[in-house]
C-alpha cells in the first residue's frame, strides 16, 4: 500500500537509521548506512562524526556528491515474523553542502536525537534538501 507524503515523512522522522546512496563515478551506486535528522524546512542532515573510527574524515560519499549532488535515503522496517509490519520510505535528495545555513539546526537535532552526539562531535554535517519522498507499507498506516 502506497504511503502518502505526510505518512512517509513521519515514518522517516521516527526511524533512527537508513542507507544513503550516492553515485560513484566508476562503480555506480555507492551505499552506506547512516543516521540522520530531518528538520521542519525539508532538509536532512547526515553527520560526518569523530565518534566512530575512520581512516579519514574525507569520505568517498562527499567526493561522489561533489561529482553528482543527487542522493537517495532508504529507511525500512523489517519483521521476519510479521510481514504485515513491513514498510519502507525512499527520499530523493539534493546535496546542498556542509556549509549550508541549515547545518547548525541539523547538528542540534542530531545531538537531541542520538546520545552519542550530545557534545556535537561533528567534523561537519552534510545538508541535503528533500526533492521527493515516497513509501510503501504492507498494511494501512
Domains, the chain: 2-137 (2.30.110.10)
What's the confidence (pLDDT) of residue 139?
Answer: 87
Distance (Å, whole) CA 12 – CA 9:
5
The H or E element containing residue 8 is helix 5-14
**Each residue of 124-134: pLDDT tens digit?**
999 999 999 99
Determine the Cα–Cα distance for residues 107 and 93; give it in Å rounded to an integer: 18
Q: What is the pLDDT of residues 113-124, one digit of tens each?
A: 999 999 999 999
What pTM was computed for the model?
0.92
Amino acid at each position: 500500500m502506497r504511503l502518502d507524503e505526510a505518512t512517509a515523512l513521519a515514518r522517516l522522522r521516527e526511524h533512527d537509521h537508513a542507507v544513503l546512496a550516492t553515485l560513484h563515478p566508476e562503480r555506480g551506486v555507492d551505499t552506506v548506512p547512516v543516521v540522520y535528522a530531518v528538520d521542519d524546512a525539508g532538509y536532512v542532515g547526515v553527520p560526518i562524526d569523530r565518534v566512530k573510527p575512520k581512516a579519514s574524515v574525507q569520505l568517498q560519499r562527499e567526493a561522489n556528491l561533489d561529482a553528482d549532488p543527487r542522493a537517495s535515503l532508504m529507511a525500512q522496517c523489517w519483521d521476519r515474523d510479521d510481514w504485515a509490519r513491513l514498510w519502507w520510505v525512499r527520499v530523493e535528495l539534493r546535496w546542498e553542502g556542509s556549509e549550508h545555513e541549515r547545518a547548525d539546526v541539523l547538528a542540534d537535532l542530531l545531538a537531541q536525537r542520538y546520545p552519542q552526539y550530545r557534545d556535537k562531535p561533528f567534523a561537519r554535517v552534510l545538508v541535503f534538501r528533500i526533492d521527493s519522498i515516497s513509501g510503501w507499507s504492507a498494511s494501512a498506516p
